[in-house]
Amino acid sequence: MRNFRGPQRPGIPSFTRRRFVEGLTGGALAATAFGPALARAATAPVLTGTDIALDVAPLAVNFTGRPRLATAINGSVPGPLLRLREGEEVRIRVANRLAAPTSIHWHGLLVPAAMDGAPGFSFTGIDPGQTFEYRFRLRQSGTYWYHSHSGFQEQAGMYGPLVVLPRDPAMLGAERDYTVMLSDWSDADPVAILRKLKKQADYYNRHQRTVADFVRDVRAQGLGAAFAESRAWGAMRMNQTDLADVSAVAFTYLMNGTTPADNWTGLYSRGERVRLRFINAGAMTIFDVRIPGLDLTVVGTDGQEVHPVTVEEFRIAPGETYDVIVKPADESAYTIFAQSADRSGFARGTLAPRAGMSAAVPAPDRRVLLTMADMGHGGGDGAAIDHSAHEGHDMAAMGGWAVLPKGLTHPPAEFGPTVDMRTTNPTARLDDPGVGLRDNGRRVLTFADLASVFPDPDGREPGRTVELHLSGHMERYLWSFNGTGFMDSPPLRFDYGERLRVVLVNDGMMEHPIHLHGMWSDLEDEQGHFRVRKHTVNVRPGHLNSFRVTADALGRWPLHCHLMMHMENSMFLAVLVDTAGQSAGAVEEVRHDHG
């Protein structure tokens, strides 16, 4: 799947200062002390045109006061912004100056399979000392990004923003335009992080429940209720505070490659409309984003236009992009605040009329505990989850399949030692903002708010349904589709030109952003109607999401969770699109219809 070998500050003199620099919870108190003095204007490198050269090489960096080596593109983390134009054919030459193979995947772009950049599929990778030329025509516009698909190089800094300008410049709808790339940096070797998770899945969770918490529960609920809840969580071998696999204990959260103290700054003039292109390049972090004092008008997701919807906050998972437009009415500074979903830390930047300005940085929200309803117990429309999983099941007696409501089924491999939970009644609610965002006093974006500006681009009803269960074992830190790891899974076969439905059922307690290469994922609502076109679909615990796919791209394509440690631990599938059994005329018709 992947292969791994593997900015610019002096040392931080005090613990309090370090906490703010790294964006850990509690560091917001230091904002007024360190923010303005360290403000940095928006000066990310920008490459344009149809002939671009990218060099991949090690780079000495210092995000935390400790020098480390990153894997960088053209000497920067993130890599340069590629600002391209719809309809043009581009040639991008990538030179590998590393001691290990590398690659670049053009996340969300529709390109030929040989140009997709996922080693082991239709592409072999770029060996050390070699240069590979990517060549493809830009068939779309919008906000995308690019990153390594080799080992943990992406986690080590090998990623960058990519904007494809539309043929009609009026479609931009703003006088200012900035990319806002969110990411998570660790001084630790990603392999070492994964090794710790394999040994102890909650290693980075420093907010475990204590006896004092139980005493407070007894006072609030009574002894019987508090004991019953504690016993239920113990029986599930789950933790109410397990909201992220890796926290700010290991990560420093970055905005456009700068720490919270460095205060990335985007400038504007009074009355201007500012388009902010948010990209989550985090390896393992889901961010909740808001700009206190400004409404956010969402106009795009995953590069595709949506009918404008105004909110105060949105959640963005790794791999996703969201375009928002804001309209500052005065000459104040505004904080762009992106807190991690587990509330252990944050990334931060500023919109301001002048460099050096800063606004107050809010304290991260109170951490919300998972409830039985979140895990599918005790909620009328929640997803009932069987946490006994593989214990005591007789596969022969079960006949190989357990039938779920609404026609869903569990594959046999989900009743084995690599799976520790299964949902029996998943909810398909698109209007659920997610754990930690419900009833927080702000209007939060949901999938139900998103609607593409165009109707179903294909128009056909799906001819068949493919059901995929997002499965795993928390204690063993194993992840899979349908209970089977990548090496043991045959390719998922799509017939060239067919329109099909993919149903994703999250059988676990973690969110999973699922990314299909090469083809669009047309998200459906609860009634099976087309809703919004995406390339990365974030599926919440105990939830079911379905999307339509037009299999118009020949070749072998990856389908995987975009949480890196989940992907590396086998939540990864190959999708094979071929013409087996089809006539030459039918194949030519698909080529004509879909380019």
pLDDT at 240 over 80: no
| Nearest partner of 149 among 182, 120, 127, judged by Cα | 120
Q: Would 486 be classed as within a structural domain?
A: yes
pLDDT in tens, 364-403: 998 776 555 555 444 434 444 454 443 333 322 233 456 6
Q: Would 151 be classed as within a structural domain?
A: yes
Q: Would 276 be classed as within a structural domain?
A: no
Kindly indicate the confidence band of residue 207, based on its pLDDT and cuts at 50, 70 and 90. low
Q: Would 4 be classed as within a structural domain?
A: no
pLDDT at 495 over 90: yes
Kindly indicate the confidence band of residue 436, based on its pLDDT and cuts at 50, 70 and 90. confident
Kindly indicate the confidence band of residue 565, based on its pLDDT and cuts at 50, 70 and 90. very high
Q: What is the mean pLDDT of residues 502-517?
A: 94
pLDDT in tens, 67-86: 999 999 999 999 999 999 99
Provide the domain limits for residue 561.
368-439+454-595
Tokens, residue 440: 């927080």
Kindly indicate the confidence band of residue 110, based on its pLDDT and cuts at 50, 70 and 90. very high
> Which of 171, 200, 217 is the last residue in one of the domains?
171
> Which of 139, 171, 203 is the last residue in one of the domains?
171
Q: What are phi and psi of 253, to 5 degrees?
A: -90, 130
Report the distance separating Cα 183 and Cα 258, nearest Å.
10
| pLDDT (0 to 100) of residue 4 | 31
| pLDDT (0 to 100) of residue 401 | 53
| pLDDT (0 to 100) of residue 201 | 73
Q: What is the mean pLDDT of residues 517-542?
A: 96
Other Cβ atoms less than 10 A from the Cβ of 459: the count is 9
DSSP letters spanning 226-260: HHHHHHHHHHHT--TT---SS-TTT-EEEETTB-T
pLDDT in tens, 125-136: 999 999 999 999
pLDDT in tens, 444-456: 999 999 999 999 9
Q: Would 256 be classed as within a structural domain?
A: no
Report the distance separating Cα 64 and Cα 319, nearest Å.
25
Q: Residue 4, class by beta-carbon neighbours within 10 Å (0-12 exposed, 13-18 middle, 19+ buried)?
A: buried
Tokens, residue 481: 């589709």
> Which of 171, 194, 225 is the last residue in one of the domains?
171
Q: Would 567 be classed as within a structural domain?
A: yes
| pLDDT (0 to 100) of residue 135 | 98
| Nearest partner of 92 among 69, 78, 111, 70, judged by Cα | 111
Report the distance separating Cα 193 and Cα 155, nearest Å.
11
Residue 33 maps to which CATH number?
Answer: 2.60.40.420
Strand pairing report for 478-481 and 465-473 = antiparallel
Q: How many domains does the chain have?
A: 2
| pLDDT (0 to 100) of residue 35 | 34
| pLDDT (0 to 100) of residue 36 | 34
| pLDDT (0 to 100) of residue 462 | 97
pLDDT in tens, 535-560: 999 999 888 999 999 999 999 999 99
Q: Would 330 be classed as within a structural domain?
A: no
| pLDDT (0 to 100) of residue 38 | 35
Q: What is the mean pLDDT of residues 420-448?
A: 89
Q: CA angle 523-526-528, nearest 5°?
A: 60
pLDDT in tens, 284-299: 999 999 999 999 999 9
| Nearest partner of 377 among 232, 548, 231, 206, judged by Cα | 232
Q: Would 591 be classed as within a structural domain?
A: yes
Q: 237 and 475 in contact (C-beta within 8 Å)?
A: yes
Kindly list the distances between the CA atom of residue 12 and the CA atoms of 4, 55, 66, 128, 345, in Å, as whole numbers in the listed order: 30, 31, 9, 35, 18
Q: What is the mean pLDDT of residues 302-315?
A: 98
Average pLDDT, the chain: 84
pLDDT at 471 over 80: yes
